[in-house]
Amino acid sequence: MKLKRLMALGMAAVMTMSLTACGGSGDTPSTNSNTASNNNDSNAAADNDAAADDANAADDSAADDANAADDSAAEGGLTYGSITLGEDYTDLTASIKFIHHKTDREQDGSMAKYIEAFNQEYPNITVETEGITDYAQTALLRLPTGEAWGDVMFIPSIDMVQLADYFIPYGTVDEMSEYVNFADQWKFEGNCYGVGYMGNAQGILYNKKVFADAGVTELPKTPTEFIAALQQIKDNTDAIPLYTNYAAGWTMGGQWDAYLGAITTGDTTWLNQKFAHSAEPFKDNGDETGAYALYKILYDAVANGLTEDDYTTTDWEGCKGMINRGEIGTMVLGSWAVAQMKEADANGGDIGYMPFPISVGGKQYATAGPDYCYGINKESSADNQAAAMVFVKWMVEKSGWCDNEGGYPISKTAPTSFVFDGVEVVNNEAAPDDEADLMNQMNAECELNFNNGGDRKVQEIVEAAATGSMTYDEIMANWTALWNDAQSSLGVDVTE
C-alpha cells in the first residue's frame, strides 16, 4: 500500500488543474500538471517512484528542520503582493539559481534573453538557470538537499502537506488570487506556495486546412459530430483523422484524463469532490456526457479505423511536422502544444485549437489550470528569497513567457493573446482540506491513476479497440469494479 501511495504522489495538486505539467524536453505539459508528465518523465516512471521514496524518506527530518528553521519570509513580511516591480529591491545584490524543465528554451536562447531583460531592471540580481531533461525525477531527488538545489524550482510531484517543509509562501490564497489565476494550485493551510509559469486550457488541436478540405464546415460539439468529422477527413483527404500518439505513453493518460470533470459534466465540483465518492463514475449517461463519453471517443475512433494504421509506431517528434503539413487532422493535447505545432514547419497558420467535443445542456466547457509552478526554497537566505520573489513576479508579469508559449494567462494584469471562443472556461474546484489526499489514496488502491501517469489504462483502450479483445462497455465495467473495490478498502463514503 505504501508503494502504491508513493506512485500517486502529488495527485491532489494535479487533479485541481485537470492537466499535465510541461515535460522535461519542453514538449509536454504538467502536469501537469501538473498536473504536471511528459515523454521523458513518464518513460522514467519507475525511476520517479524511487525518487519519490527518497524524498519521502527525508520527510521526518525535513519537517523537523522546517519547524526549527527561521522563516525569514514570514518574519520579514515578504510576499508577492508587497513587491512593486521596478521600485522595490532595486538595490538588492544577490545570486540565485532557477532549475526547470524547459530545456528547449535553454537551447534556443530564450531563457538567456528573459534573464537579460530582467537584469535591465535588476542588474544586481544574478540568475543562473539550469534546464533538466528528466526533470520530474531529478527535482524530487534534489528537493531534500535543501539550499544545495538552488532558490527557485518548478514544484515537482509532492503532497500538499510537504509544501511548507520545502518552500516559502507567496501570501495567502485569497491575497494571491488578486494577482494570479490558479492561486490554489499549490496551497497548504490557506497559503499559496506555487505560481504557474503558464496556463493550459484543454481542447483539441486540429489542422484548419484539413478540416476545410474534408468539408467540415462547423467545429464538432458532440462525440457523434466529432466521429463524423473524422470520417469526413478519412473519406476526403489523405490525412490521418486522429493521431493517438500511443507509443509516447504520456500522451495517453497524461492527456485524455485531463478532460475529466467540468469539461465532460459541466460540474466544477465533480472531479475533486464527487468522483471519489461516486459508485458509478464510468456509467453511460445516455446523453454523450461524462467519463464514459470521454474515453469512448478514443475507442470508437480506433475501432472505426479513424486513427493511424499502426498505433505502436506513432512518433511524438514526427507528429509535430505532420500536423503542420496537413498529414494529421486532429490530436488530443492541451493548448500548450499549439506553439510547438505552429513552429514545426512552414504552415503554422493552419494550426487551430477547438473546444473538446462534449456539450452539457447545449454548452461546451473548457478547464484551464497552471503548468509547472514556481516554488521558492525555504532554505535560501533572506536576500536570496527576496531576489527569488522579485524574479518570479517579473517572470509572471513582465517577461511575456506565458504568452510566448501560447499559454492561458497566469497574471491577471499581463497582456495576453489567448483566445478560446464559444466555450466557457472554468476551473475544477479543489478538494476540501480534509480530503486533500483522498484521490492519491484512491489512485494508489485501484491503480487506474487518473491524472497521475495512468497511461496504460488508456493505451489498453486503443489496444482493445484495434484488436476487438474487449468491448468498450467491458472496459468500463472493469474500471468500475476496481473503483468500487478501492472505495471499500479505504472506507470511502459512497454518496452517489
Report the sign of the C-alpha dihedral through residues 357, 206, 228, 451, in that order.
negative
153 with 224, same domain: the answer is no
Q: What is the mean pLDDT of residues 23-32?
A: 42
On whether residue 448 sits in a domain, the answer given is no
Final residue belonging to a domain, choices 339, 369, 399:
369
252 with 269, same domain: the answer is yes
221 with 194, same domain: the answer is no
Place 23 in a pLDDT band, splitting at 50, 70 and 90: very low
Q: Tell me the chain's radius of gyration from C-alpha atoms.
A: 22
Q: Which residue type is seen at 38?
A: N
52 with 104, same domain: the answer is yes
Distance in angstroms (rounded) separating the CA atoms of residues 209 and 350: 6
On whether residue 235 sits in a domain, the answer given is yes
Final residue belonging to a domain, choices 382, 400, 418:
418
Position 112 scores a pLDDT of 98
192 with 247, same domain: the answer is no
Position 421 scores a pLDDT of 78
- CATH code of residue 110: 3.40.190.10
pTM across the whole model: 0.74
- b/e sequence 131-162, b meaning 16+ C-beta within 10 Å: bbbbbbbbbbbbbbebeebbbbbbbbbbbbeb
On whether residue 211 sits in a domain, the answer given is yes
184 with 250, same domain: the answer is no
Residues 319, 328 contacting (CB under 8 angstroms)? yes
391 with 346, same domain: the answer is no
Summarize pLDDT for 28-87 with one digit per residue, the tens. Answer: 444 333 333 333 333 333 334 444 444 444 444 444 443 433 343 444 589 999 999 999
On whether residue 470 sits in a domain, the answer given is no
Q: What is the mean pLDDT of residues 322-339?
A: 95
Listing DSSP states for 295-328 in one string gives HHHHHHHHHTT-B-S-GGG--HHHHHHHHHTTSE
- Rounded to 10 deg, the angle between the 472-490 and 290-303 helix axes is 140
On whether residue 458 sits in a domain, the answer given is no
138 with 281, same domain: the answer is no
37 with 151, same domain: the answer is yes
Q: How many domains does the chain have?
A: 2
On whether residue 170 sits in a domain, the answer given is yes
Q: Which residue has the cell 488541436?
A: 205
26 with 172, same domain: the answer is yes
Summarize pLDDT for 262-293 with one digit per residue, the tens. Answer: 999 999 999 999 999 999 999 999 999 999 99
On whether residue 17 sits in a domain, the answer given is yes
What is the residue range of 169's domain?
Answer: 2-198+371-418
Final residue belonging to a domain, choices 418, 433, 453:
418
97 with 130, same domain: the answer is yes
Q: What is the 3-state secondary structure (H, E, C) of 230-292?
A: HHHHHHHCCCEEECCCHHHCCCCHHHHHHHCCHHHHCCCCHHHHHHHHCCCCCCCCCCCCHHH
Distance in angstroms (rounded) separating the CA atoms of residues 253 and 448: 9
